[in-house]
Amino acid sequence: MYLRASILLLILLLGSNVMGIFAQDTLSTIYIPGIEDLINKKEEEDQLLVTLATGSEISLEEAPSIISVVTQKDIQHYGCRDLADVLRLVPGFEFGVDVLALYGLGFRGVWAHEGKALITINGQSINCFGYGNFNFFGTVPATMIERVEIIRGPGGALYGGFAEVAVINVVTKKIQGAFVDTYAGLQGTDPLYGGNISVGFSNDNDKEIYVNVGQQNSPISTRTYTDYYGTSFEMGTLTSYKRWQHINIRSKFKGFELFYNRLEMYHGALDYYTAIPTVGNGAYIDNELFNFNENYRAQYNIPLSSKASLVPSFEYARGNAISTATSTRFHLDSATGQLTSFDPSGFFQNSGSRSTKIQPQLDFKYVIPQGDVLVGIGGQLNNVQGRSVLGEAGLQFGPNPQDTSASVTRYARYAFFQVNKKIGLIGFTIGLRSESTPFGNALAPRLGFTFYKKGWNAKFLYGYAYRVPLLWQAYSRQFSASSMTPETSNTLEFEVGKRFSKNFFARANTFFINIDRPITYIGLNNSYQNFGRVQSLGVEAELNARFDKGGGFLNLSYSRPGSRTSIDFMAEGQDKFLALPGTKINVGGYAAISKRLTVSSNLAIIGPREAQSKNSALNSTVDETIFETTTYKALYLLTVTANIEFVKKRLFCKIACNNLLNAPYVALQPYYGGHAPLPADDRFVGMSLSYRFY
């Protein structure tokens, strides 16, 4: 229903704009304010620049953040199927599993899955309204992506919210005319298929509109999943699937800009907290999860002078908790043959959750000599609604069983500023964000120094960030009532690098992250609480060359727990984080064999990982956890890709084989939660055909 409506909307947009009154901007934008708010792609994609919010350009080497940009050419060369493949190319990122087949994000050893990394599409957050997470593998297909911009570090001083350890922004395609992209293949032994339609119109009068509509259907794995109790099922398109749909619109008329995102995702998830849930005769409980995220954003640039401007904006977003079940409401009782309600007082009673966010903001931008100033104020009105499968109020405000409600609304206010200034060879940034939240006040200061001369660069960066509890976590009857405050983190980073030419650079950085009292799920009383400490320290390095006829990259990352990390987040030997590799290496290259054919290959080496042992899962109790882990061997994920151009700049074909060696990749649980390794990322062989209409 939704996809048909989306395609109809696309046709209407085409019909109403066929006269071509809209214009294409040569720059693409992240619509979140600040030093990272604009990352430009020149037409040949050989020189990437960071542009200050006022419009003055600065190179990546001088930007007061550690930034990675994965371009459309990178995505095409290295066979990326979705956002997970893109992030795999970047130092520090890897994945783990949460319950119900939620494949989450880890970064620099930190389990960033629940609200520690801000994930946006065209600057609009797509983090789940319930937990702050996002489900990877089979989501955000590469066909909709122009490029991905990543701040490898905190962004809380400007963005607040989830920008604690990283900011990831997906920029959707900007096509002049129309571009149709279809693809199909085998993920393991089952089909994966999907496609995207991109349409854009523009003219020279600062008017433009770009639309992307698409879907993807994919099995996550076709192997067998077996829990620690010996129960198993065959994964595949019937039990472990992802069905993804999206529509993205961004338009511009002079200084007015409008953005719209709608994402929908269904996925099968038979895995549970510990054992696979079954009914009589060993039949599985049919479990399908549904998540949607819809976001509207409008902003207007008001010039006050040649150096100053005001940018008011308004955002409205709505969605649900990602673990909301759609088909666990009833199951077939094998004894009676009748449909029976599924434990309405249990974990999944609140399947009727809906959340909304209203956020007005006003930015003031002013250009100073060799720099700029940004000041902003804003607020949020957040509402969550929840009802059980039987229509009961799904929210609770305290230990009193009668203190329930079907809706709760809370307010937040914030202000921030940032000054960027360059004096000679030294640039510095100072900023601060202050927020008054329903769970207490929070501050996020930021300080950065940069140096650049004759291709050499150095950076020293400090960022303080926070993550505010979400209303769903705080009030849902799915969890026991508890008191939470914003978790906080300190991050120190140091980078050195050398740009040998505009197409060839090398750099390395070190980091130290200290997260104090992170918001953590506590199984002892089924609640979210501020618990423990996470410290991560390590190094990252990268070498990258991009030329017309060929190029390649090499990067590596290493992380380990700091001395004050709580044992609950570490492996048995306390030298590794749970589930995430201490070491990861990426190497790849491409070569133009002819004007029409380019071949490429890349290898991700995922170092040894550790996760809770079977003995610990079976014998730990709510009163005592057995901190025992099992080691999983290193994996080698090899991708080979061929890109063929049949009709110059019009018809394209890509043939790719991901995980060519069929390495037995499994996602591991990054906490002692009793979840067995869950297969994912089977060997994929597929082909895509793309045609561009002018």
Q: What amino acid occupies position 4? A: R
Bridge partners, residue 508, by sequence: 496, 541
Q: Which of 167-181, 330-344, 523-537 has the highest mean pLDDT?
A: 167-181
Q: Is the pLDDT of residue 2 over 60?
A: no
**What mean pLDDT comes out for the span 522-528?**
78
**What mean pLDDT comes out for the span 601-616?**
97
**Cα separations in angstroms, 362 against 15, 444, 542:** 35, 19, 38
Q: Which residues does 524 contact at the CB level (< 8 Å), separation at least 6?
A: 622, 623
| pLDDT tens-digit map of 331-384 | 445 455 554 544 433 434 445 688 999 999 999 999 999 888 999 999 999 999
**Cα separations in angstroms, 216 against 120, 206, 242:** 19, 33, 8
More confident residue, 508 or 2: 508
Give the pLDDT band (50/70/90) at residue 326: very low
**What mean pLDDT comes out for the span 207-225?**
94
- Do the beta carbons of residue 519 and residue 671 sit within 8 Å? no
Rounded CA gap, 514 and 493, in Å? 12
Q: Is the pLDDT of residue 163 over 90?
A: yes
Q: Is the pLDDT of residue 330 over 50?
A: no
Q: Is the pLDDT of residue 235 over 60?
A: yes
- Check residue 676 and report its DSSP letter: P
β-pair type (651-658, 666-667): unpaired
Cα angle value 496/501/503 (rounded, 5°):
100
More confident residue, 202 or 379: 379
Q: What is the pLDDT of residue 352?
A: 66
Bridge partners, residue 194, by sequence: 183, 216
Residue with tokens 């995505």: 75
Which two structure tokens, joined as six digits, stand for 556? Answer: 């590596």
Rounded CA gap, 428 and 422, in Å? 6
Between 26-40, 544-558, 574-588, the lowest mean confidence (pLDDT) is in: 26-40
- Do the beta carbons of residue 590 and residue 77 sit within 8 Å? yes
Q: What is the pLDDT of residue 389?
A: 62
Q: What is the pLDDT of residue 15?
A: 34
Rounded CA gap, 277 and 121, in Å? 35
More confident residue, 26 or 142: 142
Q: What is the pLDDT of residue 390?
A: 64
Q: What is the pLDDT of residue 264?
A: 94
Q: What is the pLDDT of residue 587?
A: 97
E-state strands within 112-153: 117-121, 124-125, 145-151
Give the N- to C-terminal CA distance of the chain in Å, as an integer: 30
**What mean pLDDT comes out for the span 640-651?**
90
| pLDDT tens-digit map of 392-428 | 788 888 777 788 888 999 999 999 999 999 999 999 9
**What mean pLDDT comes out for the span 18-23?**
27
Q: What is the pLDDT of residue 52?
A: 33
**What mean pLDDT comes out for the span 261-288?**
77
Q: How many CB atoms lie within 10 A of CB 272?
A: 18
Between 200-204, 476-480, 598-602, the lowest mean confidence (pLDDT) is in: 476-480
**What mean pLDDT comes out for the span 476-486?**
84
| pLDDT tens-digit map of 61-92 | 888 899 999 999 999 999 999 999 999 999 99
More confident residue, 476 or 689: 689
- Do the beta carbons of residue 511 and residue 483 sit within 8 Å? no
Q: Is the pLDDT of residue 28 over 80?
A: no
Q: Is the pLDDT of residue 572 over 80?
A: yes
More confident residue, 565 or 277: 565
Residue with tokens 């200084």: 255
Rounded CA gap, 518 and 162, in Å? 12
Please compute, for residue 693, the number of CA atoms within 13 A of its CA located in the half-sphere on the CB side.
Answer: 11
484 φ/ψ sector (left φ>0, alpha ψ -120 to 50, else beta): beta
Domain 2-693 has CATH 1.20.1440.230: no
Task: Please give the mean pLDDT across all residues of the chain.
Answer: 85
Percent of the chain surpassing pLDDT 70:
85
Between 140-149, 270-279, 615-624, 664-673, the lowest mean confidence (pLDDT) is in: 270-279
Q: Is the pLDDT of residue 290 over 70?
A: yes
Give the pLDDT band (50/70/90) at residue 49: low
Backbone CA torsion sign across 257, 44, 136, 103: negative
**What mean pLDDT comes out for the span 227-238?**
90
Q: What is the pLDDT of residue 367?
A: 92
**What mean pLDDT comes out for the span 291-315?**
95
